[in-house]
Amino acid sequence: DIQMTQSPSSVSASLGDRVTITCRASQGISSSLVWYQKEPGKAPKLLIFAASTLQSGVPLRFSGSGSGTDFTLTISSLQPEDSATYYCQQANSFPWTFGQGTKVEIK
């Protein structure tokens, strides 16, 4: 199975800050990488698929990049509603696997 490793596990940043989360796959997954946002008590929300394609309705301050084994999710200007846990997930092969999550907090 493909292992997904996210870093950092948590980040605390101020409003307006740029936040970057990284995700590494244990083997190459081309661009088959997805990012989700998860708030407590709510269903996960799709942010980005195919490593860099923004899902419809997602604010432009979110962006994704990478291919192969190394990927990043960037929030260009942190907003209060971005406080959540973010997960990467590989969709290259079954079983799909998620990273362990990165909790983003507002200072």
Binding site for another protein (CB under 8 A): 1, 32, 34, 36, 38, 42-46, 49-50, 55, 85, 87, 89, 91, 94-101
- Least separation in angstroms between residue 18's CB and another protein is 24
- Least separation in angstroms between residue 16's CB and another protein is 28
- Least separation in angstroms between residue 44's CB and another protein is 6
CA 12 centroid distance within chain: 16
Q: Torsion angle, CA of 50/75/42/81, rounded to 10 degrees?
A: -150
Whether the CB-CB separation of 89 and 1 falls below 8 Å is answered with: no
